[in-house]
């Protein structure tokens, strides 16, 4: 993987572990020679991921909607900062520019990005690994909910391996590197569905 889209929050939680985690993610990706594609902001975990990668000499491509760029939250220190018209184009650019996705702690926007990456993989718009870094058990309930959707029958057995979760970035990247794409819905027949 040459580049990974990192999905995370633009907020700064009171618990300092989250900012440090974000810096470590950026730093470790850069040390592995993996470029970071992210939301282009300078605040919160977003800014920390970018700072960690840049401080380690890594490539950082920010993709930011015009409205956020104009509100002065853009990180102009990025290797490259792309301005797009809105959130839909932003997520499309994440997909085009990256070889996989890593989600670290975040809020509603982060969940939107994660679920869309999973949905697009399920359909067949991409065949890239979708990783979830479950640091500090932050995503325990989401992982359980994803399992519940599968057990209930709302996630087909062919697609139950799309979400790759691990507690450390090293474990997650190793699992993502060995990801074997599944059979997407676009290739299935009515009998398969």
* Token output for 22: 């974000």
Q: Is the pLDDT of residue 123 over 90?
A: yes
Residue 137: predicted pLDDT: 98
Separation CA 68–CA 86 (nearest Å): 9
Q: Is residue 193 part of a domain?
A: no
Q: Is residue 90 part of a domain?
A: yes
Residue 17: predicted pLDDT: 98
Q: Is residue 137 part of a domain?
A: yes
Which residues fall within 8 angstroms of residue 103, CB to CB, at 6 or more apart? Answer: 6, 7, 8, 110, 113, 114, 117, 130, 131, 132, 133, 139
Give 98-109 pLDDT, tens digit per residue: 999 999 999 999
Which residues fall within 8 angstroms of residue 81, CB to CB, at 6 or more apart? Answer: 40, 61, 62, 64, 74, 75
Q: Is the pLDDT of residue 132 over 80?
A: yes
CATH number of the domain to which 29 belongs: 3.40.50.450
* Token output for 113: 């990005």
How far is C-alpha 83 from the chain's CA centre? Answer: 19
Report how many domains make up the chain: 1
Q: Is the pLDDT of residue 193 over 80?
A: no
Residue 72: predicted pLDDT: 75
Give 138-186 pLDDT, tens digit per residue: 999 999 999 999 999 999 999 999 999 999 999 999 999 999 998 888 8
Q: Is residue 192 part of a domain?
A: no
Q: Is 13 exposed, middle or buried (0-12, 13-18, 19+ CB in 10 A)?
A: middle
Confidence of residue 188 (pLDDT cuts 50, 70, 90): confident
Q: Is the pLDDT of residue 192 over 90?
A: no
Residue 126: predicted pLDDT: 96
Q: Which domain holds residue 86?
A: 3-187
Separation CA 130–CA 40 (nearest Å): 20
Give 17-76 pLDDT, tens digit per residue: 999 999 999 999 999 999 999 999 999 999 999 999 999 999 999 999 999 988 879 999
For the whole model, what pTM was predicted? 0.95
Q: Is residue 181 part of a domain?
A: yes
């Amino acid at each position: 993987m040459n580049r990974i889209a990192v999905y995370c929050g633009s907020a700064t939680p009171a618990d300092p572990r989250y900012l440090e985690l974000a810096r470590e993610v950026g730093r470790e990706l850069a040390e592995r020679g993996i470029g970071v594609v992210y939301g282009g902001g300078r605040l919160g975990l977003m800014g920390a991921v970018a700072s960690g990668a840049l401080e380690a000499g890594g490539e950082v491509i920010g993709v930011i909607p015009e409205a956020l760029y104009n509100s002065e939250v853009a990180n102009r220190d990025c290797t490259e900062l792309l301005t797009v018209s809105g959130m839909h184009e932003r997520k499309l650019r994440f997909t085009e520019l990256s070889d996989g996705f890593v989600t670290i702690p975040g809020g509603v926007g982060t969940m939107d990005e994660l679920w869309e990456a999973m949905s697009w993989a399920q359909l067949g718009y991409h065949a890239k690994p979708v990783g979830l870094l479950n640091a500090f058990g932050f995503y325990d309930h989401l992982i359980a909910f994803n399992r519940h959707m599968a057990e209930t029958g709302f996630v087909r057995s062919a697609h139950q391996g799309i979400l790759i979760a691990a507690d450390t970035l090293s474990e997650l990247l190793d699992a993502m590197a060995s990801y074997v794409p599944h059979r997407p819905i676009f290739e299935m027949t009515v009998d398969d569905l």
